[in-house]
A and B are shown apart, each in its own frame.
Chain A
Amino acid sequence: MELLVFVLASVMVLAGAIGVIAYNNPVHAALGLVLTLFGIAVHFVSMEAHFLAAVQVIVYAGAIVVLFLFVIMLLGVDRAEDLSVEPFQIQRPLAVIVGVAISGLVIAAVVRGRSTLGEQLKSGVPGDDNIRELARSLFSDNVFAFELTSVLLIVAVVGTVVLTRRQRGGASK
């Protein structure tokens, strides 16, 4: 049962990931991303991390990708791009290097942390306690980082507003 769920969810994740790269149309690529995020949410559910699954769907699928789509639609870039023209020559080699480096990092982290990951799973608490545990750690041990992140977001929002705001004639009195 668990294996079946794992395989199905993994197929979703991988198909979505391939879709993001392979589709020419940005809207289709964004939909591929949604599929990937859903697959990850299914993985979370099967590991009894219900809260993370819900947050994954609400925040990533519900807010972030919707924002992507919004931008794509508003800018009207929802047509397939001609990939043979390359405005930045160095972009593709750099992308390959960064991609390989990140994959390497993830694989290294999983290999190194294999033993400790298993131990933490055993002590995990399912259900409502799961959420409580998460909240306790977020608002006690890691509260500083948590608050800093929110400040960072505010700064980003204010910065965007200030940068996009044009001073028109008559505004400066």
Chain B
Amino acid sequence: MITLNRIPAADPVLEAESFWWQPLAVVGLKVLVVFVIGLVGTMFMVWFERKIVAGMQNRVGPNKAGPFGLLQTLADGTKLFFKEDLIPEKADPFVFRIAPFLAFVPAFLVWAVIPLGGDFTNGHDGTVTWFGEVTRVQLADPPIGVLLVLAMSSIAVYGVMLAGWSSGSKYPLLGSVRASAQMISYEAALGLSLAAVLMTAGTLSTSGIVSAQSSITNWHLLSTGIVPFVVFLIAMTAELNRPPFDLVEAEQELVGGFHTEYSSIRFALFFLAEFMNVISMSALLVTLFLGGPQPLYLGGTDIFAVLGPFGGTAWLLLKVFAFLYMYVWFRATLPRLRYDQLMNLGWKVLIPISLGWFILLAALQVARDSDVSGLRYSLVVAGCLIGIALAYMLFQAALNVARRNREAEGAAY
């Protein structure tokens, strides 16, 4: 018997005073599943994207390796393994070597806090029983949940930044400076729209956030008003460096962006991290705004109820899939933004909107918590609206003054 006290209990399975092999088996299995989902999901995501984009452009796309070309990514990955691993002469060897891992490891760790399934139907709290142990279908459920994701996305900036710097070449450096500026700018909007969800849910833990969205009217998509969802979606696309925000690797300007000098398996790691981030951030979006594994009752019935304990997972996959398709759609249809447009959108549109909406939600929450009557409540709403209108006018005035100053100084655009 192993006795472990005072382990930070990130999983109900580890809270027992003493335990034998079952909890270890459960945790081991979960680690394995998360790892495999991460890798296999990424593999199919690459295939999916190539196939859909090909379809939208009236091409066939990968169709040689395996049925429907499903194994194309595997073939490409194997090829990358056997290519020569080149380290440029002017590169900083140590930093050049660790940068891909700094991009790759955070992408994996995000999976740890995402509820991948579980029984949330009829007000259950999402725990399941495996091998006689009560656990959650997520690798870890720390009390800080969502903050871990934010921490990981801020670590991922290092991968991009150091890769560009350590390459010892100007295009990667420019690409990485652009990338990190973009990621830092949009992290603010991302965090602010996320804060609206956290305030409505009243908890930071991802399983708690899912539990709070027990019916479609409770989904944070609706209960926070659509605005945080839209801001989060845009900020997330920018954070992932996906089109139309893929200035980081604008081929016409920067060759390939921060990973220009990378080849072989190191490049594969960047590639893998990028696609894995797309999937894990979509899963996060679904967790935060669309109830994660919560079923959607169509006419009073849960269509995945036949799958029993895997119903939640099926719902999660379905919802994530919709967003993955959307990302591919973005890539196939939207042209890339210009750099100043990107920064304008981030700082002058998304951040003010998400901040204003957050304050509005906070005011309404306070009014609701203090149980004011109908008339008083509408007064609060009216006050909020007037406040927002005033703030908007002030903000526009400030922007106009700034623009006039710039134009007076001879800026032309």
Contact = CB atoms under 8 A, between A and B. Distances in A.
Interface of A: 1-2, 25, 27-28, 31, 34, 45-46, 48, 50-51, 53-55, 57-58, 61-63, 66, 69-70, 73-74, 78, 126-128, 130-131, 168, 170-171, 173
B161 A170 contact: no
By Cβ-Cβ distance, the 5 closest A-B pairs, closest first, are: A62-B154, A54-B147, A57-B151, A50-B144, A54-B144
B151 A173 contact: no
Interface residues of B, number: 35
Contact of B161 (A51, A54, A69, A131): A69
Contacts of B157: 62, 66
A168 B155 contact: no
Interface string B388-413: 00000000000000000100111000
Given A50-B143, A54-B151, A171-B408, A63 B184 contact: yes
A63 B154 contact: yes
B346 to A, nearest CB: 16
B200 interface: no
B95 interface: yes
A168 B410 contact: yes
A45 B10 CA distance: 11
Contacts of A2: 6
Interface of B: 4, 6-8, 92, 94-95, 142-144, 147-148, 150-151, 154-155, 157-158, 161-162, 165, 173, 176-177, 180-181, 184, 187, 203-205, 405, 408-410
Contacts of A48: 6, 8
Interface of chain B: mostly helix, strand, loop or mixed: helix
Given A27-B92, A66-B184, A128-B143, A74 B148 contact: no
B155 A127 contact: no
Given A46-B8, A62-B151, A63-B154, A168 B161 contact: no
Nearest to B4: A1
A1 B136 CA distance: 24
Contacts of A126: 143
Given A54-B151, A62-B155, A171 B409 contact: yes
A141 to B, nearest CB: 19
A171 B405 contact: yes
A73 B165 contact: yes
Contacts of B94: 28
A73 B184 contact: no
Contact of A34 (B6, B8, B158): B158
Contact of A131 (B95, B143, B180): B143
28 contacts: A27-B165, A28-B94, A31-B95, A46-B8, A50-B144, A51-B147, A53-B144, A54-B147, A54-B148, A54-B150, A54-B151, A58-B147, A61-B154, A62-B154, A62-B155, A62-B157, A66-B161, A66-B180, A69-B165, A70-B180, A73-B165, A128-B203, A128-B205, A130-B143, A131-B144, A168-B410, A170-B409, A171-B405
